[in-house]
Amino acid sequence: MSVSDTAKKCVHFLKHDLWEVDLGSLNKYKSFIVKTLRLINVALRELTEGQLTLRAMSLVYTTLLSIVPVLAISFSVLKAFGVHNEVVEPFLIKFLAPLGDKGAEITSQIIGFVENMNVGVLGSLGLGMLIYTVISVIQKIESSFNSIWRIKKARSFARRFSDYVSVIIVGPIMIFSAMGLTASFMSNTVVQTIVSIEPFGTVFYFFVEKLPYIIVCGAFTFLYIFIPNTKVKFKSALVAGLMAGILWETAGWAFASFVVTSTKYAAIYSGFAILLMFMIWLYVSWLILLVGAQISFYHQYPYFLEANNAVLNISHRLKEKLTFLIMYFIGDHFHNNKKPWTLDALVAHLELPVDSVHDIIINLEKNSFLLETGDDPTAYIPARELEAITLRELMHTARMTDDETRAIENHFTTVHEVDSILDTLDTAVADTLGGKTLKDLVDPSKK
């Protein structure tokens, strides 16, 4: 068999046969391999065909505008403890390590910009703009993550402000504290005694050697849990964090090799070569972060993989059924004093795409059928008494999904015979539903 025939068979397997495998008929080991291949396949497809590349480019531009304000706030907090050079600079050096000597040069320039930024001189308006810039960049990152997770509703401004600012201010302090605890742990007499005993010493130094990789994977995992405006399972975030961390370290090694062999670019672009390399590495880093977010999404919702990542077109009949099902589940839990349904729980129970379920919920909220609770994650309860929610209203809401549809219908060409048929259907539906309410649906015995 020729190499080309083998390649064609591999491509056919990844595109077709891989998705037709029945996971239920496989043992745990083979099932794990198939799921991993599907995750990698989808990640590569999203990388080449999806919107991740465009979003990564957008985040590069945003980073260039906001990197100094973001570091300035963190720098100011750490400066109060007198440890600003012990956290920010090592972080930048680590991040820009693939750029080689140029990474150290860029780090010193960024640190210089941050040190020259005097927050006291900015005034209240300038400080407000500084904080706004920081919040805006994280908001843009959240928007990219929410798009991957099919979430159309971002955090409220108040929650966004409290969450983002707390991470930017408290985060550096936590990093410094962790570094201090690690140093104290390493210098502890008991630890040194244990390390001197084999094989504990070999295991300990192996762990210390791999600690940077663990920290990178942990950082990715935290971002995958914190940034999306939805409940991300720790296991899904951890799997994505491990894959993204390994991919980032591998990409760093490959990029460092590229920088070493690209001296001719410095001759062509002169002083701009540093900026060019910096932007490329930012793009690669953002792309890896977004690919990891995509992996965490598909790991949490594996039935998307079983559908071969096909676009699920929801029919009008299914939208109507979903509207009644969601209101039934939420109304039933409310009526029986059970724990309110969350979006994640509804998606898992219905086994449908999160964006389809979320669209229905948004439509029900907009038409005053549902209310969000203040819980974390957000849960849903009926906005009115169950007796005050008629099934006829629900059907009308399911059919008339938005104001634009109503506006188009009002100006659309009409034919009397067609309108007569539709009016007859509407009358039949109204007669069938009559005066039934959600209470009748949830508790038919109380009619």
202 with 224, same domain: the answer is yes
**Confidence band, pLDDT 50/70/90 cuts, at residue 308:** very low
Q: How far is CA 69 from CA 114, 127, 436, in A?
A: 8, 10, 58
280 in the same domain as 395: no
Return the pLDDT at 326: 92
Residue 445 has pLDDT above 50, yes or no: yes
**Residue found by looking up tokens 């009748």 in the block:** 440
Same domain, 45 and 58: no
Whether residue 228 is contained in a domain is answered as: yes
Supply the pLDDT for residue 187. Answer: 55
pLDDT at 64 over 50: yes
Same-domain check for residues 241 and 103: yes
CA dist., res. 331 & res. 381, Å (int): 7
Look at residue 238 in the predicted model and tell me its pLDDT: 92
11-20, 209-218, 328-337, 349-358 — which is least confidently predicted? 11-20
Domain boundary among 280, 306, 332: 306
On the CB side of 245, CA atoms within 13 Å amount to 21
Rounded to whole angstroms, how far apart are CA atoms 121 and 101? 34
- Distance, in Å, from the CA atom of 53 to the CA atom of 50, rounded to the nearest integer, reads 7
27 and 74 part of one domain:
no
Assess whether 33 and 144 both reside in one domain. Answer: no
Does residue 279 sit in the same domain as residue 393?
Answer: no
Do residues 44 and 68 share a domain?
A: no
Tokens of 27: 């043992």
- Strands 370-372 and 341-342: what pairing? unpaired
CB 378 within 8 A of CB 417: no
Q: How far is CA 248 from CA 89, 395, 425, in A?
A: 20, 49, 58
Spatial separation of the C-alpha atoms in residues 300 and 145, rounded to whole Å = 14
Q: Is residue 271 part of a domain?
A: yes
| 362 within domain boundaries | yes
Beta bridge pairs of residue 165:
none
What are the respective helix, strand and coil percentages of the chain, to the nearest 5? 80, 0, 20
Q: How confident is the model at residue 413 (pLDDT cuts 50, 70, 90)?
A: low
Where do we find the tokens 């964090």?
241
CB of 56 within 8 A of CB of 290?
yes
The answer to whether 231 and 341 are in contact (CB under 8 A) is: no
pLDDT band at 201 (very low <50, low <70, confident <90, very high): low
Amino acid 433 reads: L
Domain assignment present for 385:
yes
Nearest Cα to 98, choosing from 273, 263, 259?
259
Into how many domains does the chain fold? 3
- 135/256 same-domain check: yes
Q: Same domain, yes or no, for 125 and 207?
A: yes
pLDDT above 60: residue 283: yes
- Asked whether residue 377 is domain-assigned, the answer is yes
CA distance 140 to 151: 14
pLDDT attached to residue 329: 92
Is residue 311 situated within a structural domain?
Answer: no
Residue 7, domain extent: 3-49
Q: How far separated are the first and last CA of the chain, in Å rounded? A: 72
| 302 preceded by a cis bond (ω within 30 of 0) | no
CATH code of the domain in which 352 resides = 1.10.10.10
pLDDT in tens, 82-135: 555 666 677 777 777 777 777 777 777 777 776 666 655 555 666 666 677 777
Question: 246 and 160 in one domain?
Answer: yes
Q: What is the pLDDT of residues 120-178, one digit of tens each?
A: 555 566 666 667 777 777 788 888 888 888 777 777 767 776 777 666 666 665 555 55
Residues 290 and 375 in one domain: no
